[in-house]
Structure 1
């Protein structure tokens, strides 16, 4: 997933409170098991469209490989690309910026007519507590706010959609802590900075990973609301991976958390807001929880079909375009939906129209 591979790549290179409202009937959201399969001609697409989450792997591609991957995206009906904006690498020294990597990727995406979701992650060493992991939030929220204003000044209308951090309900992605109140503080500062600089933009809360217990998406979102998150995001986001068992087999697969989060949003007065699926997919290869190429395509189209039937889901993003490594036994190297690492097309490439 972009979750683990983002970290490895960068290292190496509850209860609902609020007004009482009737909960929606969710009985039909999961269907009868007949969601679109990998042999269907049409890919289920919400009214907001779909795209790909390239992950950290895009950051190191040469121009030729980057172009080849994005050309494959363009051959599908995708209209979005989620781009990792690695603040840690861009502003290694305070007030000194290296925009070369986001320049290449954003310009390449826009040249192909793709809308960019800028996923801003990681803090540079000077901004975060001494000795902390780079996924930790900055000590001062104002430092992130200042970076976001510089980013907007550089890219202007090329980017109008922003996602703040990634999977903060997993310790590895928030400086080895899970702290919904601290994340909410960061989100509020980012929202204010973005809206004050680019009023018509869209700010998406971090995509939440599948997880049980206190770190589950419903519990984390409850804690965000309790910390004052309402009014500081335009949409929530989730990462409904369902591998290995699939949409109807896994008892814990993140999709089952979607109705709970939706009901929570309604109860807190945010029923008009969407839930974006900013990662979905499945790994192929030989790892213990890998799936076949056919099953990968089926799980992608199943989740996308679920998104359409739910009616409140925004854009959906498939992770990812191409396997980021050649080892079939390493799960994190094998999430490519279009290509294997050696550019051999996967089964899903034909389903998505990229072949």
Structure 2
């Protein structure tokens, strides 16, 4: 997306100067083989200072508790092999990969970027023109890392010309070269590691342009994937890489899209968006796969995030938390998704020139600030969503229940689900066969919000209210799913808490 050109280029320069200790000496924690990845897996990208990355892997591991995360790191070919006759320098990468392997943390390695001696003397964002050199570096990477790396991604956001430059930069020329590089990489990876997963695709929103005040974009992720299928490259990837960023500059939640999606709106601003290919980037990408008979493959969110600064209208910490939490819940509610990678575990280093502006959103995507301090309430609440903690019986003031999330009574006999189909349903599960006792949403709902004004409101993906408890003005309240099957909203003041609304679903 918008931040990655500056991030990738600056880190590529810095990482070559990093000197870290040798390989881990402790016995590694076993990583299952064959490699299995699911939408329950948690991934991280660390955008902060390179010198501290290896050490922060332990923090990422601890953050998700019993789960074992995945880290996504760049190969940076131009740093590993700056000249054709140079010996390969894996030092900086080994420090991170070894630290991960020692703890049983899996690694997704991005096969990027190019080198002047293999692309006609151009910048490292220009696709390689030397097939043999490209095949060789991929094969050497797979051989060098062996079982320490379990998945490979072909390039980062190749459908943005600032990252994937080639020829006249038309889709036919750029996509054609990219998918040929993907074919070569896939063959080399599988030759060296048959069980490794290979990801590919135009993972970003693409390059947009405006004509007569109308926005056009023929470089979307769905366009690049369509090109691959139409030109017989569908067999050269195991899963599709995608970056479902929302319009964080506008402060919009991941589910948001303008309704209707007319000429003033396009999917670049709805990288996730609703389950409508006309409005949501993820749905549009999935539609391509289904139409070409490739529905069995998964889509991996190899980058997803929402910054704590940089919106055109500053957002509260709770809103940032809600955006991340909604994205995690919605992602896992889709049956066709793989792992989701959070960008970033920690804010970009302060020394980066762009970050001299404290309001620069590109520098504030971290779950922790640049000094390693957790950003609350985001840090704790997003951890609960990522870890898949047991559903709670209460929804606190200012919190929302997003698609794919639930509340459960303390005795486990009743569950309130914000379902993937857009219905909010209260179930009686005492007999083992769920029975609906209260339903709202009419298949359009995306989140149930317990607002600070005391009102309980059900919203659709465009933030239109579908239903409300009518309790505005009661102040902070907590929604409880009681052991008697009743859903009750209790106002905090005046003490003791008093009920202001109930579903009237008491089970006798």
Q: Shared topology, TM-score over 0.5?
A: yes
The answer to whether 1:150 aligns with 2:140 is yes
Cα distance, 1:302–1:293 mapped onto 2, change above 3 Å: same
Local SS of the residue matching 2:252: coil
Matched with 2:297 is: 273
Cα distance, 1:288–1:11 mapped onto 2, change above 3 Å: farther
Local SS of the residue matching 2:162: helix
Matched with 1:124 is: 115
Matched with 2:62 is: 74
From the two aligned structures, give the one with the greater helix fraction. 1
Aligned-CA RMSD value: 2.3
Q: Distance in 1 between matches of 2:72 and 2:115?
A: 21
The partner residue of 2:221 within 207, 217, 229 is 217
1:52–1:321 Cα contact (<8 Å) kept: yes
Moved over 4 A (4+): 45-48
More contact order relative to length (CA 8 Å, sep ≥ 6): 1
The partner residue of 1:205 within 200, 203, 211 is 200
Matched with 1:317 is: 341
1:283–1:291 Cα contact (<8 Å) kept: no
The partner residue of 1:115 within 106, 126, 130 is 106
> Where does 1:87-236 land on structure 2 (aligned, <5 Å)?
87-95=77-85, 96-130=87-121, 132-175=122-165, 177=169, 179-206=174-201, 208-211=203-206, 213-236=217-240
1:117–1:163 Cα contact (<8 Å) kept: yes
**Greater CA radius of gyration, 1 or 2?**
2
Cα distance, 1:69–1:93 mapped onto 2, change above 3 Å: same
- Cα deviation digits, residues 207-254 of structure 1 (max 9, x gap): 611245201122221122223221000000110011231123344321
Q: Distance in 2 between matches of 1:81 and 1:119?
A: 11
Q: CA deviation at 1:264?
A: 1.2
Matched with 1:298 is: 322
Q: CA deviation at 1:291?
A: 4.1
Q: Distance in 2 between matches of 1:48 and 1:5?
A: 30
- Cα deviation digits, residues 34-59 of structure 1 (max 9, x gap): xxxxxxxxxxx95451111224x46x
Q: Distance in 1 between matches of 2:118 and 2:188?
A: 17
* Structure 2, gaps ≥5 residues long: 15-36, 209-216, 259-268, 273-279, 385-508
Q: CA deviation at 1:70?
A: 3.6
Q: Distance in 1 between matches of 2:161 and 2:74?
A: 19
2:348–2:364 Cα contact (<8 Å) kept: yes
The partner residue of 1:246 within 235, 248, 253 is 253
1:119–1:164 Cα contact (<8 Å) kept: yes
Q: CA deviation at 1:314?
A: 0.4
1:207–1:239 Cα contact (<8 Å) kept: no
Local SS of the residue matching 2:44: strand
Matched with 1:17 is: none
1:46–1:316 Cα contact (<8 Å) kept: no
From the two aligned structures, give the one with the greater strand fraction. 2
Q: Distance in 1 between matches of 2:313 and 2:150?
A: 36
Local SS of the residue matching 2:338: strand
Q: Distance in 2 between matches of 1:292 and 1:224?
A: 41
TM-score (norm 2): 0.58
Matched with 2:366 is: 336
Q: Distance in 2 between matches of 1:181 and 1:284?
A: 37
Cα distance, 1:277–1:101 mapped onto 2, change above 3 Å: same
Q: Distance in 1 between matches of 2:146 and 2:313?
A: 42
2:202–2:222 Cα contact (<8 Å) kept: no
* Structure 1, gaps ≥5 residues long: 14-44
- Cα deviation digits, residues 289-322 of structure 1 (max 9, x gap): 7644322222222112111111110011000111
